[in-house]
């Protein structure tokens, strides 16, 4: 396997403005706390900040446009006053995406891959911004109700190719279409079949697609299962293993909760992968 340069891997720091996030338990539901957290992620080395106001954990209920806007707009406006890095809005609703872009966001992260709102694709084309299209079976409420695949990788790749073609046919430029295989979204978990591990094992097939690849493994349940059922806040080390593997395989953007630790890991990994005979270590002390 070809080892890619981890120096090229970007980090998308996650800011969940929700009371019921699986990963942080609503710690940043307050707008001021969410803004402070986002700015700290920038200091830690994030290349993007991804703001989401609706939980997409398995079994999650949908949120109204009005409620979602009340959660995310103050955070995006606050972060946009310190425009060190691009802001991504994590939504599948065109009305929310439009307001977020107006408030300072410049990327749309759509877990539905432009399927849930017919106005989303025209909006993205009009604004000329990047969009993340993700693979998911069903919707967050039912995606883990006995998902099944005959050919996991082939079916996910086929879905993403079809959605990319749909996006292009609606006027979205190819370079603005980023793909995400959707770790944990309608994927079987555990033995004898784990679709999440299958995706990770075959990441190069996605990285050779001609599109930027975004991957979100951070603190996901399959990591907890591998580690004997540890809670999300104790999945950092397991998450780092997936990040290192993804970077070597050529994933372009890692969507992460723990930016500082991930940045440090990538910096060391890059030194190992790019080591030369004339290498001179940094002076310490």
Residues noted as catalytic: 220, 255
Whether residue 135 contacts residue 156, with contact meaning beta carbons closer than 8 Å, is answered with yes
CA atoms within 13 A on the CB side of 249: 24
Which among 63, 145, 70 is positioned nearest to 111, based on CA atoms? 63
In the chain, % helix, strand, coil (3-state, to 5) comes to 45, 15, 45
3-state secondary structure of 134: strand
Reported in sequence order, the residue ranges of 65-206 that DSSP labels E, i.e. its strands, are 87-90, 107-110, 131-134, 177-180
> Which residues 6+ apart lie within 8 Å of 16 measured at CB?
23, 24, 26, 28, 52, 55
């Amino acid at each position: 396997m070809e080892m890619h340069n981890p120096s090229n891997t970007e980090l998308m720091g996650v800011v969940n403005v929700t009371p019921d996030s699986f990963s942080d338990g609503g710690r940043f539901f307050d707008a001021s706390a969410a803004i402070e957290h986002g700015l700290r992620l920038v200091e830690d080395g994030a290349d993007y900040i991804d703001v989401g106001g609706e939980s997409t954990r398995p079994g999650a209920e949908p949120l109204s446009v009005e409620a979602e806007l009340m959660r995310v707009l103050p955070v995006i406006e606050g972060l946009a006053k310190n425009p060190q890095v691009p802001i991504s809005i994590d939504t599948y609703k065109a009305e929310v995406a439009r307001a977020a872009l107006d408030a300072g966001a410049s990327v749309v992260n759509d877990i539905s891959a432009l399927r849930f709102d017919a106005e989303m694709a025209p909006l993205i084309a009009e604004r000329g911004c990047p969009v993340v299209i993700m693979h998911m079976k069903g919707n967050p409420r039912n995606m883990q109700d006995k998902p099944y695949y005959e050919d996991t990788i082939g079916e996910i790749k086929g879905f993403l190719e079809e959605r990319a073609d749909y996006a292009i046919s609606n006027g979205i430029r190819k370079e603005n279409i980023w793909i995400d295989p959707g770790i944990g979204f309608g994927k079987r978990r555990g033995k004898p079949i784990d679709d999440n591990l299958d995706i990770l094992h075959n990441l190069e097939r996605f990285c050779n697609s001609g599109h930027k690849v975004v991957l979100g493994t951070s603190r996901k349940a399959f990591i907890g299962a591998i580690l004997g059922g540890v809670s999300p806040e104790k999945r950092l080390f397991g998450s780092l293993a997936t990040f290192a593997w993804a970077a070597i395989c050529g994933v372009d953007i890692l969507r992460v909760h723990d930016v500082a630790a991930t940045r440090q890991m990538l910096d060391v990994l890059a030194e190992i992968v790019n080591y030369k005979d004339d290498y001179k270590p940094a002076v310490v002390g």
